Structures are given as C-alpha cells and as structure tokens.
Structure 1
Amino acid sequence: MLVNRTPVFTLRAARDGQSAEQRAAAASAALRRAVEDDPAEVRTEAQGDVAVVLVGARPIVTLGPEDAAAAGDPTPEVHASRVAAQLRDALRKEQSRSATLMTLLSVALVVLSGILGLFLIQRAGVLADKTRAWIADNPERVPAIRLRSIEVIRPASLRAAIHIGVGAAKALAQVGVLYGWVLIALSLFEPTRVYAEQLTGFVFGPLYALLVRLVSSLPLLVVALIASIALIVLVRFVGLFFDSVARGETTVEWLPADLAVPTSLLVRAAIILAFFVLAAPLVTGDDGGTLARVGIIAVVALGLAITPLLASVAVGVTVVYGRRLRVHDFAEIGGREGRVCAITLLEVRLEDARGHEVRVPHLLGLIHPTRVLGPEPLVTVVLTLAPATAGQEDVRDLLLDAAGAVGQRPAADLLAFDADGALYSVSAYSSAPDARARLNAALAAALTAAGVPLGRPPRSAAAAEAWIAAGAPPGRPPRAQAS
C-alpha cells in the first residue's frame, strides 16, 4: 500500500476473492480519500477473526489470519497494530511534507504579491504625477463650474481641488495596496490567520457601521447636500457682488468702492456662521445635532483663536468707517511714517521713503499715538551755518528758495546762535516720499554755490532740536540765545 507513491506496508495474501495487488490498490485509494478529506487518528478495530485498520471513521484495510501468518505475526490484531503504527508514521511524514510545501508556496505567494504591490504603488504614484503635470500644462482645459450665470467654483479653485483629490487618491490607493498585501501575507500562514481576521474586523467593522448609518440617514443627507449647495451659491454670489462694487462695475449708495472688500469678508463669514448655528438645526430637525454643535464649537474656537485678530478688526472698523485716515495721505502709525496706500480691517499699509510697503496692525494704534500728516507732510531739516549768517536776509532767502524748489510753503527760521554757529530750521510741505533727502540735497547745492560756510552747533542747539523733533510748526522757534 502506497501513500503518495511511498510504500507503507505490504499485503501478501489474497482475501475474499481479491488478490493481494487488488487489496493493496483498494487500500491505497481509501487512504488517499481519507487524506484528502481530513487526516484523523489511525486506529484498529477487531471484528471476529479479522482486524480492521481505520483512519478516523473510514476503513482502510481488513486483515485476516492469512495476512498475519504471511507477515509472521501471531494474530490479526497484532498484525493490525503494526500496520497502524506504520500507517501513522507515514501519514505524519506526509503531513509534514505537505506543510513544508504549503509554507514554501505561501512564502512564494507573499514575495510575488509584494512585487505586484510595489508595482501598483509605483504605478499609482506615476498616474498621480502625470495627472498633475497634465493639469499644470493644460490649465485652460479645466473649466469653471457654473450655476447658470453664477460662477460657483473658479478654474483655479477647481484645479487646486483636483490637485488635492489626486494626492488623496494616490495616498488612499497606496495604503489600500499595502493593506491588501498585509492581509494576504497574514492569511497564508496558519499561526497568523487569526490576526488577518482581527485586522479585517478592525478596518471594515467601523466602515460597515458607517455605511449602515449613512444609508439610514440618506434623506437627511440629500437635504443637507441641497442646503450646502445653496450656501455655496449664496456665498459665491455675495463675493461676486462686492467684487463688482470694488471694481466700480456696480454702484451702491450706502457702500463706497474702497469698503467693498472688507465688507464682503465680514458678510460671507457671517453667512457661514449663521448657517451652522441657525440653519443647521432647521435642516436636521435637531437643535442639539452634530451640525449645530459644530457651529457652536466653531464660533467658540474661532473666538478664542482669533481674539487678537478680532481686537484688531474692532479697532480697524473705527478707523475704516470713521474715516480717520485717508488713502494717499501721510501718517505716522505705530512708530512708522509713510504714505497711506491702503486701509483694511486688519492693518494700514504704508509706503516708506524708499518705496517699501510697511504693514502696521491696528492694534499698534492703541499703544503708539497716530499722527495724521495730511496729503503734504511737513519736512524739516536743521542745519548749522557760520555765526556771521545770523540775521542776514540774503542767507534766509537762499534757504527759502532751496526749500521752495522741493515743496510748498517753505520756511526758514533761526533757532539759536552763539559764537560757534547759527542754527537754522528749514521746512517745506511736500508729498514726495523722499522729500527729506531732496531737501538736504537742495540746501547743500545752494549753500555750496553761494559759498556760505557751515558752523558748529551752538550750545543751545539741544533744546532747539528737541523742539523740532516734537513736530512744532515753523515760524515759532524758541527764543534764540546769544553767548
């Protein structure tokens, strides 16, 4: 009798009209069926003067006295026990060989599936990169999403959303391939098969529960989707309306064009918060539902997170709508001086003397005083001339002519003089950002051309310079002191 072409024991006698070869073939077939079904315990059972060898409940061979005599055993029971021991050993070896082959096959499948998984992960990355490159090379092929004449989503926003979606799909596909490979690797081996079942339940259990809840709340989801679309359309319409006001295409009596942009931001933010706080309970029919709680949490979190921003906006509202500053005027805000380029709810944008943009938050206006200098601020230069120039009208006229070439309403005042020099203050009103540098250059050129000598600052110059730094108007200098 053979097990997978390996001899287990030999039948030498004929029985019940069958030759030894026929009996061995029948026993091999029965044993093969038993192994294919489920190998069980090998046992013997005495039935009269014969003994039967069984694998589980399936009889394999019946041994009689002639078989025992041919094998040199005293009784059929003894012969059956020896045959059962040989069969048991053969089955154990066959199971070990089969387990080894299955392990090798499983390892090969793990390696093969890993290679396939790496290919799929790489392919997902290549497809995502190609999609992004196509969008970058063909931006005009991505149209805007319109609802009749209202542009709900701009092409740039749609391209950004596609970029984000492609990245998310790439990550999801790669994670899915990796999860599938881990699941296959765990399920191929008997010791780790239980972990595969646990992993499947851990991943798909919550997804199944979520799917059940989504299906049960499908009518509510449809209503919420319609309300969300209406919210997006409303916010987009409000933004387009205020944009047209800012561009001058639409004229509104109660809203100047320069206030359209900050007003648009405030109105859209108010619409979104009102939707979550007020409209969401009406849509869902639950005052304490998830959307209502999200709205309340969003309002509270927003209030805590942007407290400094809200404070700046509160100050900005008084500045913007109170018209305390005007665009193109000069001002000193938060210790910074320059031409006002723009006034928003958060900051004032200045252009300094070098043409750089300086953004000053409104909160600094609560700490530093704000000086409104007007469209043409006063520019003052203090210089020291020789003592002999004190009181000379031609020198004063020279200074006035130089200041008049730079700005309007020039003034030249003698602040102090003594034996070391005469301290003059030369000023003019000018809207040029570099007016101070130009005034210095004009004075230097005029004094050099006229040959007027410079002097040393008088001992009373400190008080005069402090007076100038305080922003006192020209024409009212402190009393000159002679030494």
Structure 2
Amino acid sequence: MACLPRAGGVRGVRAGRFALLLVLLAALSGLACGQVPAAVAAVAATPASAPPQDEATVRIYSRKIATFRAPFLGIQPPGRASRAQEAIEDLLEAGGPGVVTVRKEPQGNVVLVDGAFALILTPEDVDPLRPDKLDATTQATVAALSRAINETHEARDQGRLLRAVGFSLIATALFAFLAWAVVRLRGALSARIGDLLAQAAQRARGAGQPLWEATRPHAIGQWLVRAASWVLLVALAYEWLVFVLQQFPATRVWGEQLGLLVLRLLEQLGGNMLRALPDLLVAAIIFLLARALVAAVRPIFDRAEKGQSGPTWLDHDLAAPTRRLVSVGIWIFAVVMAYPYLPGSQSEAFKGMSVLIGLMITLGGSSLIGQAFSGVILLYGRVLRVGEYIRVGGNEGTVLSLALFTTRIRTGMGEEVTLPNSVILANVTVNYSRTVQGAGFIVDTSVTIGYDTPWRQVHAILLEAAGRTEGICAEPAARVFQTALSDFYVEYRLVCQATPQRPLARAELMHLLNANVLDVFNEHGVQIMSPHYFSDPAGAKVVPPGDPYAAPSRRPPASSASAESVPTHAAAAARPPTSP
C-alpha cells in the first residue's frame, strides 16, 4: 500500500490519528489494486445515516483557511475542521518550505503542504449561496493557506519582528505629534473662526440690531472647531491602530478587517443611497406638487382675507385659519402618499418608531387635540370674532387674535390675557359686541337705592349721568332697568352702548360713567346707599305723598298714557319718563 510521506519530526502525533490519516490517504490515492481497505469501507458505512451538522471553519492566525459544510467519510464538519487544523499546525511546526499544492481525486481536491496531506475539499463544501465552483473555492483556500504559512515564517523571524516593532514605534510617535498639533491648533482656530462669525453677524444686522449676541459667535466657533478636531483625532487614531495591527502576523487579520470596515461601511451607505434615489425622486415630486398646490390656493384666501374677492361662504376673518387648515391637510396627504417611498420606511425600526410616535400622541396629545377642536368650533361656530368685547369667567376684554389653540384678549386695563380655547368653550361667554348696532360694545353699571327714593328720579339721574359721559353713544339710547326688588332696596341697572377708540377705552369709560353717576346723585341729594334694618323703623320707608317726580324727573303731560314707559336717553330728561 502506497501513501503520501509526512515530514519527519512532527511532535505530538498520536498513533490513532496517524493511522486514520493513512487510511484516508490510501482511500483517496486510487491504488493499483483498485480496492478500498476494509477499514475505510467500515468507517464510510457506519455513520452514513448520521444527520449532518453545522458548518465549521479552519483558522490559522485568525485567518480563515477553509469552511467545511458537509460530512466526509462519516466525519462531521466540526470533526473535519479540528483534524485539518491539527494537521496544518503540525506541518507548520515542522518548519518546511511551506509549498502548497493541490491534487484532484474523485472525492474532491486534496490540499498538500510540502507533499503532506493538510485537508480535502468536496463539492458539498462549496457555498451554495455563491456561484463559485470547487476549483475556485480550492484556489481561495490555497491562497489563504499560503499567506498563513508566510505569516508563520515571519513570526519566527526575529529580524522581521524587530522591524515591525520599529515601524510601530515610529507610527506611534507620529500619531502623538499630530494629536498634539491638533490640540494646539484648536485654540487658535476657535478664536479665529469666532472672530469671522462675529464679523459676519455684524454685517448681517436685522432692524438695526445684531442677529446674535456678542458671545454667541465665539461659542459657535469653539463648538465647530472642537467637533472638527475630535473627528480628526478619531481618524488619526483609526489609521494608527490599523497600521500597527498590520505589522504583526498574529494581529494582521484584525488590521485588515478594521481597515476595510470604514470602506465597506461607506460602500454600503453609497449603495443604499444609489438604490434609494428613484424612491427619493418620487417622494420629492410628491412634496413639490404639494408645495405648488399650497402656493396655488394661497392667493384665493389672501383675497378673501383682504375683502377683495373669494368664495361667498368664506368670511374675511376665517380666511387665514382656513388657509392654514387647508395647507396642513395638503401636507399631511403628501406625507402619507410619500411615506412608502421614504428610505427605510419598510424596516422594523421605522415601523417601531411610527408605533411609538402614535402611542405618544395617543397618550399625551389628548389635550392638544381637544384644544385644536375647540379652536375649530370657536372659529367656524362664529362664537367670537376679532375686535369683539367679551367676558369669559373672570376675564373680559377685546379679542386680539383667535388661533387654533389659544385666544388672546386685551383687558380694559391694557393687560394681554391668553386663554386656551378649551377654557373658553367650557365657560359661559358674554359677548358685549355681538348685539350692538355698528362698532362698539355694551357698558352697564348697577346701583342699589332705598325704597324711599322715587324710581323715576333714579332713572333720570342715571340717564343724565350717561348723557354726560363722553364715549356713550346717543343712538341707540341708554336704558335703565329695575333688575331686583330686594328686601331693603331696589337694584337699578344702566345699560348703554360705547364705541372703543383706544385699548383702555372701556376702563376709562367705566371710570367716567361711575364718576358722573356719583356726581349727579350728589347734585340731587340722593344717597347711593343700601339700607339694612335690624328693627322696624318709626315710619314706613315709602316715597312721600305728592313727590313721585323729584328732580331731575318731571311729571308727564296730562295727555300721555297712564302706563309710563322707560326713558331711553339722558337728553330725554327734559320729558318725564314712563314706567316700563
């Protein structure tokens, strides 16, 4: 029986393993007798029915030599990889020239090192996901094994190791010098770039004022230089580490993989970007169409807002919010249509982020959505309008703006109050401007007078006070009402209309009206006092007989109807008022 000779002097060879290799080589050599030894036949027949195991890889100095994907002669891939690695290590320890050759056999390609058996590759070991043939896989294995053998010889050469150490020290010194230079230059560049940004900010002034604070450009310059320096330091450290790792045989594979990491990452990113360009083009076209549509409908709402022309159903005060709602609707529709074309939209991460955003809106956006719907109801329900004078709860003033989420009003004292729309919708709103004739608002004040004062006199006094007040409209005329007949007094309410001219008009108008009420009551000797009794008075608290028309009221003509009507203006004090 002929067999391949093995290099002498191999240490740690067990007798059983050596015998198995002899049997295996005898079976592959195709002896002249044409018969397979009984031992090989027995080994091949027994475990043939065993299920195949996972693939296994042979590595020398962390370098991939070959990958076994199928059993051979009953030996599973992990066993084949273990035996092949032991055989190669033994051959490398023998210290031969390391010549790698290939011999083709019916069962596969046998790889030899210095004429000794190293491993065998079968057609089943070829990666089924790649179009490589057995010969191409064998050539890749031979190249990797030859490189591993050369690295083994290099690792045993002290001269080469010392040269690698020297190159590494030189690279380390160069890296340290460059890092020091980057750190030193960072301070000077920060100041220089900060000065340039400050000069640019001084040139680009808005409304006579600088766009940035004096310290902001320097802070931005420092941040930019610091970020650039860190990027440069990381790049230098990366190149230094790759260079040093590639100097030594034991770490050369790591250096090669690390060196290709960034290139592969950039290649992957570039490929993904190129593949995503058609979808990005479609998404860009959708967004451009949406922008064009928004620009097309904007002039229609602008004309309606200015009162020039527009849809008959759209008031000028609803044009701006309607335009915003239409624009938001168009953009939302565009986002929905462009979503499938966005890169990564079908990935699990993108879907998870969409679910997270939806959950956040559902849990935390209920109040925001409620505010928005309240604003829509206020806008299109015509509850309020800009310029109207309203009272909501304890706040009253002129409506300055009515937005989707909040409403701003200016009080009579000149204070600006922002009210959430949901608060307005949940409270009773009193509108003093909706029922007036023309521009303006309703002004009212109340007094309580005892029962011993003629009501006609009180009416005339209040109307005269309204007539003296500048800003009270003559038309429609002021009116006085008895709103309550309490236990000890009568409550009178003066209601009139005023036209606002300034933001403080209502506060000043109320001040002037109350001042005139006090003056007129004092002029006619009538006390503004609400009596309270702890015991019955000596006499009845009634109007004295013969004095129902105390000044400034006057008795009506005899021809007038017996049922008196309420006087309507202070200028009518010359004619007697009538009862309501």
User: Which residue does the alignment assign to 2:417?
Assistant: 358
Name whichever structure is richer in helix by fraction. 1
Distance in 2 (CA, whole Å) between partners of 1:129 and 1:284 is 41
CA RMSD of aligned residues (A): 5.2
Change (3 A) 1:339 1:177: same
Which of the residues 388, 407, 411 maps onto 2:480? 411
Equivalent residues in 2 for 1:38-437 (5 A)?
Answer: 103=169, 106-107=172-173, 109-119=175-185, 123=189, 126-127=192-193, 130-131=196-197, 133-134=199-200, 137-138=203-204, 173-183=228-238, 186=241, 205-239=264-298, 242-248=301-307, 251-281=310-340, 300=358, 304=362, 306-374=365-433, 375=436, 377-383=441-447, 390-391=453-454, 393-394=456-457, 396-406=459-469, 407-408=472-473, 409-411=478-480, 413=482, 424-431=492-499, 432-434=505-507, 435-437=509-511
Distance in 2 (CA, whole Å) between partners of 1:171 and 1:433 is 59
3-state SS of paired residue (2:396):
strand
Distance in 1 (CA, whole Å) between partners of 2:405 and 2:319 is 15
Give the stretch that moved more between structures: 449-458 or 268-277: 449-458
User: Which residue does the alignment assign to 1:442?
Assistant: 516
Distance in 2 (CA, whole Å) between partners of 1:345 and 1:430 is 30
Letter in 2 for 1:433: R
1:119 Cα deviation after fit: 1.9
Gaps of 5+ in 2: 1-96, 98-156, 212-219, 500-504, 535-565, 567-580
Percent identity of the aligned residues? Answer: 22
Change (3 A) 1:186 1:121: farther
3-state SS of paired residue (1:339):
strand
Q: Is the 8 A contact 2:389 2:441 kept in 1?
A: yes
1:335 Cα deviation after fit: 4.5
Q: Is the 8 A contact 1:389 1:422 kept in 2?
A: no
TM-score, L = length of structure 1:
0.55
Distance in 1 (CA, whole Å) between partners of 2:182 and 2:345 is 51
1:412 Cα deviation after fit: 6.1
User: Which residue does the alignment assign to 1:65?
Assistant: none
CA offsets per residue over residues 423-442 of structure 1, 9 Å max, x none? 65444343542243332222
Q: Is the 8 A contact 2:390 2:399 kept in 1?
A: yes
Gaps of 5+ in 1: 1-56, 58-90, 141-155, 157-164, 461-474, 476-483
Change (3 A) 1:169 1:222: farther
Letter in 2 for 1:411: V
The number of equivalent residue pairs is 347
1:316 Cα deviation after fit: 2.7
Q: Is the 8 A contact 2:466 2:516 kept in 1?
A: yes
Change (3 A) 1:424 1:216: closer
Letter in 2 for 1:110: A
TM-score, L = length of structure 2:
0.47
Q: Is the 8 A contact 2:182 2:229 kept in 1?
A: no
Q: Is the 8 A contact 2:317 2:385 kept in 1?
A: no
Distance in 2 (CA, whole Å) between partners of 1:439 and 1:300 is 56
3-state SS of paired residue (1:275):
helix
3-state SS of paired residue (2:506):
coil
Letter in 2 for 1:317: V
